[in-house]
Amino acid sequence: MAAAVDSFHLLYREISRSCNSHFEALALIGALYAASRAVVLLRDCCTVARVHFLPRMMPSGRLTQRYGDWAVIYGAAQPVAGAYAEELARSGVSIIFITQDGSSVRDAASFLSQTYGVETTVVTANFSLGQAAAKPVAEALRGKDVGFLVNCMDETLASPRSLIEIPEQGVLDRVNRNIGAATLMARLVLPGMVERSRGAVVNISSGSSCRPRHGRVMLSAFTGYLDHFSRALQFEYSNKGIFIQSLIPFQISSSSSAEGWFAPSPEVYARHAVSTLGVSTRTTGYWPHTLQYGLMKCIPEWIWIVGSRVLFSTS
């Protein structure tokens, strides 16, 4: 019995001695991986500070001097677009509202003129009609130093609805109003910006492009288009003095009772988003949303899909 115990201890020592080099190699790999993750975390923290905090503490000058005197706001009836327009007006930028229903923004235009002393113009254009909608917009742009274009996606797309439940004409109208209109607006505004070698194009979509969600097929598709459209424009026009930004916010509260840290009011969101102009070409525009985006990206897509299906089936 004693001989068997001695043999076991001898065998254990031999195995430990032979595996010791492997344990050291595994420990080194683990240390290198932990160090790499720490470097990534530090980099992300520095990015958040550079994009969201430093610009608010050290503003980089008047927006009219950097980009131009006029801003074109497409989708002006959306709360986020209206709040963004007010932030620009606060900096002395005159506003051209492009909307399908002019009566929905006339009060806002009058308020900006009276409060901030800027000029405002309301242009009615129904982009579901196609190219005919471009004529009144082109007339409104003529002779103006347009330094900003803000395209805001229709927020009604955030309401869950299956693709097959939407009428065929409704699908085409949504494509025209969100994808076609944003592309055409950029086509109308960019030549003047290129000529003046300055300007900014901001496309506001949704953080829904981060992961697929039930009942939001068109929202995810349109967001993906606007996001990649912005990146392609930035690649093509950044060397001409034009700044292109893709804003991908998450939930923005539509009522004061539902406001919170991760669901800011449109005014709070716009204040943060405008401060990122010229700093980041692709951002959520609001630092708690950036944290939310980072956490969601840490979840593998297959786990997200399985979890979403389980939650959807039990709801």
CATH of the domain at 98: 3.40.50.720
- Could you tell me if residue 248 is inside a domain? yes
Which range marks the domain in which residue 129 is found?
59-310
The token pair at 154 is 């229709």
Half-sphere exposure of 55 (CA within 13 A, CB side): 21
Percent of the chain with pLDDT over 90: 54
- Could you tell me if residue 94 is inside a domain? yes
- Could you tell me if residue 195 is inside a domain? yes
Q: Is the pLDDT of residue 2 over 60?
A: no
pLDDT band at residue 212, thresholds of 50, 70 and 90? confident
What pLDDT score was predicted for residue 222?
A: 92
Report the number of distinct structural domains present in the chain.
1
Question: Which 8-state DSSP code applies to residue 127?
Answer: G
- The Cα 293–Cα 60 span in angstroms is 27
- Could you tell me if residue 9 is inside a domain? no
Quote the pTM value: 0.86
pLDDT band at residue 157, thresholds of 50, 70 and 90? confident
Stretch 75-81: mean pLDDT: 90
What pLDDT score was predicted for residue 303?
A: 85
- Could you tell me if residue 91 is inside a domain? yes
Cβ-based burial of 235 (10 A; exposed 0-12, middle 13-18, buried ≥19): exposed
Higher pLDDT, 312 or 149: 149
Least confident of 100-109, 111-120, 127-136, 221-230: 127-136
- Could you tell me if residue 46 is inside a domain? no
pLDDT band at residue 158, thresholds of 50, 70 and 90? confident
